[in-house]
Every structure is written in structure tokens, then in C-alpha cells.
Amino acid sequence: MWQEENNKLVASFRFKNFREAFAFMTEVAFYAESHNHHPEWSNVYNRVSIALTTHDAGNIITEKDRKLAAAIEQVFVKYQQ
């Protein structure tokens, strides 16, 4: 699911519709805020694209990114049922 590109973990997620995509983003936003680690992302209709990098570590992939990626995957699984 996640790929390393240009010092970022990147992934794209597809949903049934915009409402699901936005609900997913909302859940991820609450998790990211509580861990003070925020994704770079975009949403077009039913697709959410995410890039993770740790800016305060010099824009490299760190354990913070890997933990957030794992949490994002857990949220995504709920929408695949």
C-alpha cells in the first residue's frame, strides 16, 4: 500500500463515494492532530492521496510517519467492509 518516494511515504485510497472519503479524512485528522503529526493530502471525489514526511527532521521518513501510516491503514480497513 505505502511506497517510499522522494523521502515521503505515499499512498492512495479509494472509497465508494465522496462522503466515505471525507469521513475517512476526518478520522485521520483527529488521530493526526492528537499525535501532532499531520499528513500532506488531497481529495478528489472518492480518492484520497496522502504523503507523509517529518518536516522537523529535515523532510525525511521517520518512525512518526510509519506509525501514522499504520494508523491510517487501520482506519481505511473499516471502509473496506
CATH number at residue 15: 3.30.1360.20
Query: What range does the domain containing 11 cover?
Result: 3-78
The per-residue pLDDT of the chain, averaged, comes to 96
Number of domains comprising the chain: 1
- pTM of the predicted model as reported, rounded to 2 decimal places: 0.93
**Residues 65/52, Cβ–Cβ less than 8 Å:** yes
* Helix (H), strand (E) at residue 50: strand 47-52
* Helix (H), strand (E) at residue 51: strand 47-52
State which residues of the chain have pLDDT below 70.
none
- Residue indicated by cell numbers 471502509: 79
Sorted by sequence, the CB contacts under 8 Å of residue 35 that are 6+ apart come out as: 64, 67, 68
pLDDT number for residue 1: 86
For strands 40-44 and 3-5, give the pairing: unpaired
